[in-house]
Amino acid sequence: MRFVPDRKETGRAALIGMVHLAPLPGSPGWRGSMAALLEAAERDADALCAGGCDVLLVENMGDRPYLKGAVGPETVAAMALAVERVVRRGLPVGVQVLAGANEEALGVALAAGARFVRVEGFAYAHVADEGLIDACAGPLLRRRHALGAEVAVWADVQKKHAAHAITGDLSLGELAHGAVFCGADAVVVTGRSTGAATALDDVRAAGGCGVPVVVGSGVTPADAAALGAVADGLIVGSWLKEGGDWRAPVDGARVERLRAALDG
């Protein structure tokens, strides 16, 4: 069964903790040791699990600047190794391969046992710092069908770090409905950038689209309960790190604090 957060079963929004990988082989910041990279990923995953996360999401955040729409085999291989280590923790795990390398993310998820992929540019186009990100729903879902992959698609709507003038005549709710029409299993709503708050009105606007709605940025203990009351899941990265810096290791005490705030 494809994984989406189901608050009807749990009675609460899922807390989804980010495992931000260090630079992978082939990226400008690669440090030359897969062993060290995997150990860091496992430490972060363990801290997120111990602090009360329900779901984990692995991303090649360290690979700046990102390629657009595809990555090399070295990135796919390294991501698969890292994701498999995180999957061993026993929680549902997702994959995102930046930027917009969505078929590669699907392959990683299938090989490593992950349950979903977070997809930018699923339906409609937008302009990101990598350039024009085009829609990928058609080829991605055909590839998923051909592989027989039971991997859910969480589709970003008006994704952060992007300009959306190209779809400026559509509301966020209309964009969310469009993503569902194209086959998204869940939609993700964000603020304007990493760590930027997601507006409650935006979450509510997406809420009528017929699939679970996940908040994708800016969650803190101050707004976790309010967002968790209207969303099915909260993806949290920056705030759970030491000093709130996404480049730092996960701080277990911060995870526990956010879990407590979400539970009220």
Q: What is the pLDDT, as a whole number, of residue 1?
A: 53
CA distance 55 to 75: 23
Q: What is the pLDDT, as a whole number, of residue 11?
A: 84
Q: What is the pTM of this model?
A: 0.96
Q: Whose structure tokens read 């996404």?
A: 246
CA 59 to chain centre: 7
What is the crossing angle of helices 34-51 and 252-263, to 10°? 30
Which of 222, 223, 224, 202 has the alpha carbon at shortest distance from 14?
A: 224
- Looking at the domain 9-263, which fold is it? TIM Barrel (3.20.20)
Give one DSSP letter per residue of 141-152, joined into a string: HHHHHHHT---E
Per-residue pLDDT of the chain (264 residues; tens, 9 = 90+): 579 887 777 889 999 999 999 999 999 999 999 999 999 999 999 999 999 999 999 999 999 999 999 999 999 999 999 999 999 999 999 999 999 999 999 999 999 999 999 999 999 999 999 999 999 999 999 999 999 999 999 999 998 888 999 999 999 999 999 999 999 999 999 988 777 889 999 999 999 999 999 999 999 999 999 999 999 999 999 999 999 999 999 999 999 999 999 998
Which tokens go with 264? 């009220």
Torsion sign across C-alpha atoms 50, 221, 12, 192: negative
Q: Where do the domains of the chain lie? A: 9-263
Buried b (16+ CB within 10 A) or exposed e, 80-100: bbbbbbbbebebbbbbbbbbb
Q: What is the pLDDT, as a whole number, of residue 169?
A: 97
- For residue 5, report the phi and psi dihedrals to the nearest 5 degrees: -65, 135
